[in-house]
Structures are given as structure tokens and as C-alpha cells.
């Protein structure tokens, strides 16, 4: 057994690696069908924000996992079901002896189970961070297959760039021309069951996502996003009426467009400028300090 003094010296001698786990925003989500195995077929326009969770990785005598951040306590009883630990274990199994013990610190800044891919983004960041720490990599196809084992959203979170995802989320097409968008993320911090949202969905064979072939200007993108939809929003509003309330609040504070992300309950409002988004987030927080409001920018498709 290593003494606490030696353990501290061991950890202090190792540099840490950090990874951002960016929030995933479904600008559009069309449910286009359902497979025989029950999985729904989706067309999604997805982007990612500067705001998200943060993971730090450090060599350690034994595996450790710690939590911090506003929503860290929510995951405190998660144990071995946490996607970060599942990602660590699957990657270690794939890599083998090079995968030495590691201390992982998750700063949980995003609401849990809120439709913005927090757990999936954490898992993807774990894969990226541990490959760097362990000084190894996997072939692209093997990494994609491993990510998909962790969840349908993990492959797109691994990319963390604007994209269109189809199928159950595994068919990914980059969208480098998508511009940076100023937005406010808003969540009433009330849970919504994803399986129940899908069960309440009236139609499961809806028109596919269709975007104009040329979208060079930000205004054109805003119109294209407005013409799309989130098919999960109507049933989610029935289950959690606060979604409609929070969307109305975003519009009242100047959002050019509002929509729910994923299966909810997080909504987003797109604003003309980052300053307008920050002002709106501050005013909304003053109005409902018990809810979650965060001004942020999305990443550029050209990064």
C-alpha cells in the first residue's frame, strides 16, 4: 500500500490533461421512422457550445473518480453506471497494458438528463482525454464503434463540431459552414423522461430534415433553422408544461428563435449578439434564480 505522502508526491509529479465536454444542441430534430428493434430514426442538425462540463485526467496509483461543479452532487450516487467510468473501462479494454490507473475529475456544469448531451459529451471527452494521457489512439472505425457502444450521441460528441446526424445518430456529416450563434440555454430543472417523450410522440414517420443547398449568410441559417423543427417538443411540453413557459420567457427577452433541444427539458434562444444573450440570461436568472440560464456561443463549423 502506498502511503498518503508518497501518493501525493506521485500525483504531484504528473501533469494533468484537460478536456472540455461541450453541450450538444439539437438545432433541429426530425423523427423520420422506427427500426424493428425499437430505435427511432432521426435527422438532426447539431452544434456545440463553448459552455459545458470539464474533465481533468492525471496518472494515479489507483483509479479514482471525483465530482465537482453545480450539478456534481446529482451524479454522486451514480457509481459504476456513470458514462465516464464506462468510457474509461471500454477504452482500457481496447488499449490493454498501456492503460495505467488514472484519476478523473469531472466538473459537472450542465444539468443532468436535460437534452443537451451532458453524459454523452463527458464520455466523448473521456475517450479523447485518456487517449492523450495514455499516449495512444485507436483506428477511426474502431473508435467510432466504441463510442457508439456508449450511446447514440457519443460519436457526434466525439467530433464536437457542427454536423448533421442521421440514422440513430451514427451517420455523421460535418457542416463547416454553420456560423457561430449567440444563445441562452434555459432549463426549469425539472426532469423529463426520454422514453416517455417518444411514447407520447403522435407520428413517428415525419418529413426528413431539408436544408437549402447554399447557406452562406447567418440570416439564411436562422431562416433554415426556423423552418425545421423538433418533433419531440410537443409531447415534452405535455409532460413538462414549464418548457412552454421557459420558451416564452426567452422570446420575451429578445430571442430571435427558440426551440427545445433533444428530448428536453433544455431550451435555447438564439440572440442577435452575445451581449444581448448575456443581458437576457442575467434578467432571466433574476426572474427565476431556481432555474438554469446560461449565455454562451456555439463553436464555428470551420474550426
- Residue positions annotated with a catalytic role: 24, 153
> What 3-state DSSP class applies to 228?
coil
- How crowded is the C-beta side of 164, counted as CA atoms within 13 Å? 14
List of E strands, the chain: 17-34, 40-59, 64-68, 102-107, 163-167, 171-174, 182-187, 257-260, 267-271, 292-297
The beta strands (E) that lie in 35-83 are given as 40-59, 64-68
Show Cβ contacts of residue 242 under 8 Å, excluding neighbours closer than 6 positions: 188, 190, 265
Q: Which DSSP string corresponds to 163-196?
A: EEEEETTTEEEE-TTPPP-EEEEEE-S----HHH
Amino acid at each position: 500500500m502506498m502511503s498518503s505522502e508518497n501518493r501525493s508526491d506521485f500525483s504531484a509529479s504528473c501533469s494533468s490533461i484537460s478536456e472540455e465536454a461541450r453541450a450538444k444542441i439539437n438545432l433541429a430534430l426530425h423523427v423520420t421512422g422506427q427500426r424493428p428493434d425499437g430505435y427511432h430514426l432521426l435527422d438532426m442538425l447539431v452544434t456545440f457550445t463553448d459552455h459545458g462540463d470539464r474533465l481533468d485526467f492525471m496518472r494515479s496509483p489507483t483509479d479514482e473518480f471525483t465530482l465537482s461543479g453545480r450539478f456534481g452532487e446529482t451524479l454522486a450516487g451514480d457509481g459504476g453506471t456513470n458514462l465516464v467510468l464506462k468510457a474509461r473501462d471500454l477504452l482500457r479494454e481496447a488499449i490493454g497494458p498501456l492503460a495505467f490507473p488514472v484519476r478523473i475529475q469531472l466538473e459537472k456544469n450542465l444539468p443532468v438528463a436535460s437534452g443537451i448531451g451532458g453524459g454523452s459529451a463527458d464520455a466523448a471527452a473521456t475517450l479523447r482525454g485518456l487517449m492523450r494521457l495514455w499516449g495512444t489512439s485507436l483506428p477511426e472505425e474502431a473508435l467510432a464503434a466504441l463510442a457508439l457502444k456508449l450511446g447514440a450521441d457519443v460519436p457526434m460528441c466525439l467530433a464536437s463540431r457542427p454536423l448533421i446526424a442521421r440514422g440513430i445518430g451514427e451517420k455523421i456529416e460535418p457542416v463547416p459552414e454553420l456560423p457561430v450563434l449567440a444563445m441562452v440555454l434555459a432549463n426549469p430543472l425539472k426532469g423529463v423522461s426520454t422514453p416517455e417523450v417518444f411514447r407520447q410522440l403522435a407520428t413517428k414517420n415525419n418529413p426528413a430534415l431539408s436544408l437549402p443547398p447554399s447557406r452562406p449568410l447567418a440570416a439564411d441559417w436562422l431562416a433554415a433553422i426556423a423552418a425545421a423543427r423538433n418533433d419531440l417538443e410537443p409531447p415534452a411540453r405535455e409532460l413538462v408544461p414549464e418548457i412552454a413557459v421557459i420558451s416564452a420567457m426567452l422570446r420575451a427577452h429578445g430571442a430571435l428563435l427558440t426551440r427545445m433541444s433533444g428530448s428536453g427539458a433544455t431550451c435555447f434562444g438564439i440572440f442577435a449578439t452575445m451581449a444581448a444573450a448575456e443581458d437576457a440570461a442575467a434578467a432571466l436568472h433574476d426572474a427565476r434564480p431556481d432555474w438554469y440560464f446560461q449565455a454562451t456561443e456555439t463553436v464555428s463549423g470551420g474550426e
